[in-house]
Amino acid sequence: MSYKPAPVPNGLSRVVAQYLREELRRIEIEFGSLAEKSPGVFQATGSTNISSTAATLGLDTEVADPNENYELASSEISVRQAGWYHVSVNIPIDDEGSAGGTRAKVFAYLERDQGTATFITVPQLRGQDYARELSGGEGVSFSGLVELAAGEAIRVRVDQSGTVDLQTESAEASLSIFNIKA
C-alpha cells in the first residue's frame, strides 16, 4: 500500500491538507506493521492423559499461521519474532470412566524456555477446574500476555491433584497466539 497525495480541494486550507496527509501516512505505517503481527492457531488432534504427573498438551496441528511467524514441533511452539504475545488456551476435559478417585483439581499452565530449553512456568498464564468423576463438561481455559524472545518456545502443561480418570477431549484442545507488540 502506498499513499499518493491528492490535490488540495478548493476551500481546504493547506494546513488541514498537510495534516490529513500526515495522518494517512501514520495509518499506512500502522497497518503495515500489523502484517508482522499475525495470529497462530494450533490444535491437538488426539487427547492427552491427565494424571498427577504433569504432561505436555499434545498440540500437533497448525490450523493457521498466515505469515509463518511460528513453528510447531513436539507440542512446542517457537516464535520467530521477539515481542509481547497474547496467548489463549482452551482444554475441554473428558471423563474417561469410573476408575480412580472421585474428585480432583485439574491444572493447566503455560511454560516458556527463555531460549535455554529449560522450561519455566509463566505465573500469570494458568487455569484450573474442579473435576468430579462421571460428570462431564469440565474444561480449563486461560489467556494472558507474555513477552517472548525470538526463537523462544512455549508449551502447555496439564496435571491434576488427584487420581480421577481424565484426559483432554480428543481433537478439541487448542492454543491461539498473537503478537501484539514487536
Q: What does the pLDDT read at residue 94?
A: 84
Q: Classify each residue of 48-61 as buried b or exposed e, where b means 16 or more C-beta atoms within 10 Å of its C-beta.
A: bebbeeebebbbee
> What pLDDT, in 10s, does the model give residues 8-59?
566 666 766 676 677 667 666 555 555 566 899 999 999 999 999 999 999 9
> What pLDDT, in 10s, does the model give residues 89-127?
999 998 766 666 678 899 999 999 987 778 999 999 999
Share of the chain above pLDDT 70, in %: 75
For the chain, give the mean pLDDT: 84
Identity of the highest mean pLDDT range in 5-9, 15-19, 141-145, 160-164: 141-145
Q: What does the pLDDT read at residue 136?
A: 56
Q: What does the pLDDT read at residue 38?
A: 80
Measure the CA–CA gap between 95 and 165, rounded to whole angstroms.
Answer: 6
pLDDT at 131 over 90: no
Q: What does the pLDDT read at residue 182?
A: 65
pLDDT at 155 over 80: yes
Q: What does the pLDDT read at residue 154?
A: 97
Whether the Cβ atoms of residue 178 and residue 132 lie closer than 8 Å to each other: no
Q: What does the pLDDT read at residue 149?
A: 94
Question: What's the whole-number mean pLDDT along residues 77-81?
Answer: 94
Q: Classify each residue of 103-125 as buried b or exposed e, where b means 16 or more C-beta atoms within 10 Å of its C-beta.
A: ebebbbbbbbbeeeeebeebeeb
Q: What does the pLDDT read at residue 95?
A: 74
